[in-house]
Amino acid sequence: MDAAAYEAAVKRVEDDPEGYWRDLAKRLDWMTFPTQIKDTSFHKHPFHIRWYADGVLNVSVNCLDRHLAERGDQVAIIWESDEGDISDNFTYRRLYEETCRMANVLKAKGVKKGDRVTIYLPMIPQTAIAMLACARIGAVHSVIFGGFSPDSIAGRIQDCDSRIVITADEGLRGGKAIPLKRNVDEALEQCPDVTDVIVIKRTKADVPMKAGRDAFYADLKQGVEATCEPEPMNAEDPLFILYTSGSTGKPKGVLHTTGGYLVWASHTHELVFDYRPGEVFWCTADVGWVTGHSYVVYGPLANAATSVMFEGVPNYPTTSRFWEVIDKHKVEIFYTAPTAIRSLMREGDEPVKKTSRSTLRLLGSVGEPINPEAWLWYHRVVGDSRCPVVDTYWQTETGACLATPLPGATAMKPGSCAKPLPGIKFELVDAEGKPLHGATSGNLVITDSWPGQMRTVYGDHERFFNTYFSTYGGKYFTGDGCRRDEDGYYWITGRVDDVINVSGHRLGTAEIESALVGNENVAEAAVVGYPHDVKGQGVYCFVTLKADVTPTDILQAELKGWVRREIGPFAAPDVVQFAPGLPKTRSGKIMRRILRKIAENDLSNLGDTSTLADPAVVDDLVKNRGG
Ligand code: 6R9
């Protein structure tokens, strides 16, 4: 898309929204093409978000069947193993047959349209196959990132009342085995309603199998047919649930539906990455996060792309790993996260320069703000100054990309996600919700719906409204702060709520606090993020111990390990500081602003502490800063 085409699209969606959104839906194969296009209201009475509501389609047909005639022998997924010892190509035909087999296995287990299937798998092709198999029979998948702990798995299984779990014996990441089956076993002690666990063999490790509940997929698959009738799905039938952290309470089950989600994922995959038929596209995200859903699986496959699925990590076996994989599989488009870029940048240019990367045409970034230094290094060293960088801003809630520079249409400014895509209406508002104009900073809201928007919080529609639409009445609040410059470019400055972003992983500080107070030694905890060179943000915990407990280094380490186990290794605190008291207002509210400043070591800016119930606690916190 060039600049004129971008302007024309922005104008068209303004002048003829129905027509624009209807045309966009034509990129999919429908069993019944929708006559109802957009039917949305962000206001409480009435509040609803529906797209293409009378359309009928199946996501797996759009990702597989419709490509078979012309691209059956084209590679759909290139799988690259952790060690690099195995790579395996799945053509569209093979992926189709494997998906049908898995769909038949699920059916044989009694899974029906609308049932929730939990997927807790490593980055192996069977993960994509499991997702597509659910889509084929109309089951709703809930993928849980392999880094989550048994407790986190249990919470997610219970929340969506899922009766079946697909997992693997073990995962492999950076040469380390991850005990997936063991984690599931432990989680299921709290989930008596789960009737079936399907186990895929990845490492062939010996794992306990519970009779009557657990079965190896390899056995279930024997003799199963490689065709399976797709379930006709209404556009607004659920496709998946993905749990994500918010500023309060337990993680929310973000629900995406069939038609609008796939339109938006496939449209943005083509538009944002300027995807051209035959190209190899590599998104490094884990399928356990939304980026993996939309840009490893659904977007690329709907577009008949060749998508790389990478099991490993950026720095194993060597810090050239990413670049070697690019050369090995002749990757044209590469999409990763700022935290990976920053950690590789620290290793210097040599591990990059010794590889060719001559196939690369476009680079992408996602997950957190990218600092200009990392952006410039990515562009200059990785992309040899010849590949545009698309800094794509979006969220689990938004389904797929919302804002990014478009190669050929928008000039790039390092660190800015440029402008919203046609049809996405950004607005900056002040704390009272008053719209701000021109070059300014404010809270980022979106004033109208787009097809890829989440439809509800699973099982709690009220929470959906309250979380996103009640702060600034009638507008979707992203939770992000943002600056708009004199050219109308947007610069995301990070979350303004109690969500932190650690290595691109979203965490609610409330979740970590609740894990900490679950420890028998802890009376109270307050958690904040602070700037971290590689991870973007680090986790800083202020912990008040129970009266009879002695603060020791051992206890500090124990609490870090505790959070690791309670939530997952990626949530492990960087700093635990024991605090005899936390700064509170007289009404008992913890003043997080002050804690953030202490964590950031910005001690000259603590602001007014006179309203605190006990201003002296601040002196103690400052004196005993950790780090
Ligand atoms: C896709 C994804 C969403 C939060 C979002 C924002 C941050 C994502 C960004 C970015 C600046 C970008 N974020 N992309 N900030 N520039 N290009 O990451 O979803 O895990 O739900 O995180 O990530 O703060 O609100 P999710």
- Exposure of 153 by Cβ count < 10 A (0-12 exposed, 13-18 middle, 19+ buried)? buried
Q: What is the DSSP letter of 454?
A: -
What's the pTM? 0.94
- Minimal CA–CA distance to 106: which of 96, 94, 118, 95? 118
Q: Residue 611 corresponds to which tokens in the numbers above?
A: 């309203």
Residue 147 to residue 173: CA distance in whole angstroms: 10
Query: In the beta sheet, which residues pair with residue 364?
Result: 335, 390
Q: Token pair 């919203």 is at which residue?
A: 420
Average pLDDT over residues 239-256: 92
Encoded tokens for 343: 């950690």
What number is the average pLDDT over the span 281-290? 97
Mean local confidence (pLDDT), 425-453 = 97
**What is the distance between the alpha carbons of residues 394 and 408, in angstroms, rounded to a whole number?**
21
Please choose, from the candidates 183, 202, 201, 200, the residue with its C-alpha nearest in 3D space to the C-alpha of residue 191: 183
Structure tokens at 350: 């040599």
Ligand 1 pocket check for 141: Cβ under 6 Å: no
Lowest mean pLDDT among 71-75, 422-426, 513-517: 513-517
Query: How close is the Cα of 574 to the center of ligand 1, in Å?
Result: 21
pLDDT of residue 592: 86
Position in ligand 1 atom list of the atom nearest CA 494? 24
Among candidates 415, 414, 420, 410, which has minimal Cα distance to 444? 420
pLDDT range class, residue 608, cuts 50, 70, 90? confident
DSSP annotation of 450: -
pLDDT at 626: 78
What is the residue with the minimal CA distance to atom 3 of ligand 1?
A: 395
- Dist CA 75 CA 125 (whole Å): 12
Q: What percent of the chain has pLDDT over 70?
A: 100
CA torsion angle for 394, 395, 397, 402 (degrees, to 10)?
0
Q: 88 near 148, Cβ under 8 Å?
A: no
| pLDDT tens digits along 577-604 | 999 889 887 777 788 889 999 999 998 8
Q: Binding site residues for CoA, as ranges?
A: 173-176, 291, 315, 503, 564
**Which helix (H) or strand (E) element contains residue 310?**
strand 306-310
298: DSSP letter:
I
- Ligand 1 atom nearest the C-alpha of 478 is 25
Q: What is the pLDDT of residues 122-162, one digit of tens each?
A: 999 999 999 999 999 999 999 999 999 999 999 999 999 99
Does 501 contact ligand 1 (Cβ within 6 A)?
Answer: yes
Q: Is 73 exposed, middle or buried (0-12, 13-18, 19+ CB in 10 A)?
A: exposed
Contact 155, 109 (CB under 8 A): no
Q: What pairs with residue 50 in β-bridges?
A: 39
Place of tokens 């993996």: 292
Burial class (CB in 10 A: 0-12, 13-18, 19+), 604: exposed
Chain mean position to CA 573: 21
Q: What percent of the chain has pLDDT over 90?
A: 90
Judged by DSSP in three states, 564 sits in helix
Cβ–Cβ under 8 Å, residues 181 and 199: yes
Ligand 1 binding pocket includes 506 (Cβ within 6 Å):
yes
pLDDT in tens, 289-338: 999 999 999 999 999 999 999 999 999 999 999 999 999 999 999 999 99
pLDDT at 520 over 70: yes
Residues annotated within the binding site are 173-176, 291, 315, 367-369, 480, 495, 503, 506, 517, 522, 564
What SS3 string covers 36-105? CCEEEECCCCCCEEEECCCCEECHHHHHHHHHHHHHCCCEEEEEECCCCCCEEEEEHHHHHHHHHHHHHH
Q: What three-state secondary structure class fits 247?
A: coil
Task: Go through 485-499 and write b for each residue having 16 or more CB atoms within 10 A of its CB, e for each that does not.
Answer: eeeebbbbebbbbbb
What residues have CB less than 8 Å from 518, skipping those under 6 apart?
A: 566
CA of 181 to the centre of ligand 1 (A): 30
Atom 6 in ligand 1: residue holding the nearest Cα: 368
Tokens 């005639």 sit on residue: 69
Q: ipTM > 0.95?
A: yes
The per-residue pLDDT for range 381-399, each reduced to its tens digit, is 999 999 999 999 999 999 9
Per-residue pLDDT tens digits for 64-108: 999 999 999 999 999 999 999 999 999 999 999 999 999 999 999
- State if residue 265 touches ligand 1 by the CB under 6 angstroms criterion: no
How many helices (H) and strands (E) the chain has is answered by 21, 31
Q: What pLDDT sits at residue 627?
A: 65
For residues 243 and 159, the answer to whether their CB atoms sit within 8 Å is yes
